[in-house]
Structure 1
Amino acid sequence: MKKTLQAALQEARVIWLVLLMALTACSGGTQSLKPVISIITPVEGARFGVGETIMLQVAAASSNNVVRIELRLNNAIVATAQNDDPSPTFSAQINYTPNQSGTLTLMATAIDGTGGSSEPYVLNIIIGEDELFSVPLPTQPVQPTQTPPPGVIGDNGCTLSATFVTDVTIPDNTAIDAGKSFIKTWRMRNTSSCAWESGYKLKFLSDDIMGATPEMAIPPTPKDAEVDISVQFTAPVTSGTYTSSWKLVEPGGKLFGNRVFVVINVP
């Protein structure tokens, strides 16, 4: 299987960061290097819904130890990841939930033990619509738990929503051998105003499909109940970091609920 352009860009960012980390490790304390940082996922131009929690995978390095990572919007901090045991390298997941549509410019910065900061890593993402949007002051930093996006009205009049609960299998950044098949299982909660009957599916959205079936039927799920949804993938034959994005869809074709991901590393 050929690597997608987005996967190749992700791999390039990972390789770039690893090289800088190696340089940091080799400095042996004789040279103080400015912190460096990279947002591994999502990719530039990724699309999300208003109220949908965005999960950013961020990695940083510094010869003076990374103490925290800051995420900014409009020059104001909207989320942070604290490194409780400062170290030369640090990676974290930072969650942010946008509340208005438009193109958002997020900036991630690494702070080291001396108070020094990296150059910001800039990521543009599209929320809802394509056009540029002048975003007001950001909301407060989100908590680790996800909030369901605003409900979508289905063809049956039901207000549809769903919340991601946990990764049952294949946590993000799991190493999978090239060409190996694996099953990713997500646990979702039905936060809709009705039960999910027949015809509800999990649908492929973007990034790399990795040989999966584009739509997977989910079992009938009562209101407020949880359901495990599984998809079989095949790891690409080329090394790198790969992401596949999915979302629930009702029988009439309307997407709803939190987007879910599988993120793997092929050695």
Structure 2
Amino acid sequence: MKKHKLFILILTLGFLLLSCGSNNSEQADLLLDTDAIRTEAVATYASSLTKTLVPVPTTSPTPKIIEPSLTPPEITVTLETPATANPCYNLLYIEDVTVQDGTQMKAGEAFTKTWLVQNVGGCAWRAGFTFNHYGGDGMRGSTVTLTDAIPTGAKREISVQLVVPSGQTGIIESAWRMADENGIFFGDTLSIKIVVGDVTAPTSTSTP
């Protein structure tokens, strides 16, 4: 009986030992499988990072700014040269021959104004040169055209027919000047100043 109980005890212990060994082996295998899965997962994740990540440059590229080349358009201005008198033409005022400045006159009165002038230029005044109204009141005077040449150094009297304007009082002035055949003025300006009405007469004479 004792032997029978001992045998059963031995069998039980053996079974327990076998059972423990089997469980340890399964646990070890389970642990190995878990470690392998973890290792494989980490490797896969690292591989995915290597494939998807784009390397970031360490320095920022400096943008290249290209400035447009602006060339201003060339502007050409053509200046028109004004006509000037021939330097060899010149007229010098000498004196008033008739109707001195400050003469008292009536409205509508007709008179002849004469100046004495001299050709002081280096060229003769040709026939066709004109003596023209230049400023002030024209006093109904007409342009005078030279019919004969006036040589250099010669003196001549130049006259114009004038009429005192109506409806005006005070000092009335009319200015005249010589011009060549192209209408270009030269020399001194000749003038006449008359007084109409009760006004103090001027003391000045024709201005060269």
2:145 matched residue in structure 1? 217
CA distance in 2, matches of 1:211, 1:253: 20
Q: 2:143 aligned with 1:230, yes or no? A: no
CA distance in 1, matches of 2:93, 2:119: 9
Question: Residue 224 of structure 1: SS of its match in structure 2?
Answer: coil
> Structure 1: 5+ residue runs without aligned partners?
1-150
TM-score if structure 2 supplies the norm length?
Answer: 0.51
1:152 matched residue in structure 2? 85
CA distance in 2, matches of 1:162, 1:240: 30
1:107 matched residue in structure 2? none
Amino acid of the residue matched to residue 182 of structure 1? F
CA distance in 2, matches of 1:246, 1:182: 16
Q: How far has the Cα of 1:206 moved from its partner?
A: 1.1
1:193 matched residue in structure 2? 122
Which structure shows the higher helix fraction? 2
CA distance in 2, matches of 1:228, 1:240: 28
Q: How does 1:21-40 map to 2 (within 5 A)?
A: none
After the TM superposition, which segments of 4 or more aligned residues of structure 1 sit over 4 Å from their partners? Answer: none
Which structure shows the higher strand fraction? 1
> Structure 2: 5+ residue runs without aligned partners?
1-83, 198-208
Larger radius of gyration: 2
Question: Residue 160 of structure 1: SS of its match in structure 2?
Answer: coil
Q: 2:185 aligned with 1:255, yes or no? A: yes
Residues 102-130 of structure 1 show CA distances to partners (whole Å, capped at 9, x for unaligned) of xxxxxxxxxxxxxxxxxxxxxxxxxxxxx
Q: How does 1:1-267 map to 2 (within 5 A)?
A: 152-153=85-86, 159-213=88-142, 215-218=143-146, 219-238=148-167, 239-267=169-197
TM-score if structure 1 supplies the norm length?
Answer: 0.40
CA distance in 2, matches of 1:228, 1:176: 23
Contact 2:89 2:124 in 1 (8 A): no
Q: How far has the Cα of 1:211 moved from its partner?
A: 0.9
Identity over aligned pairs, percent = 29
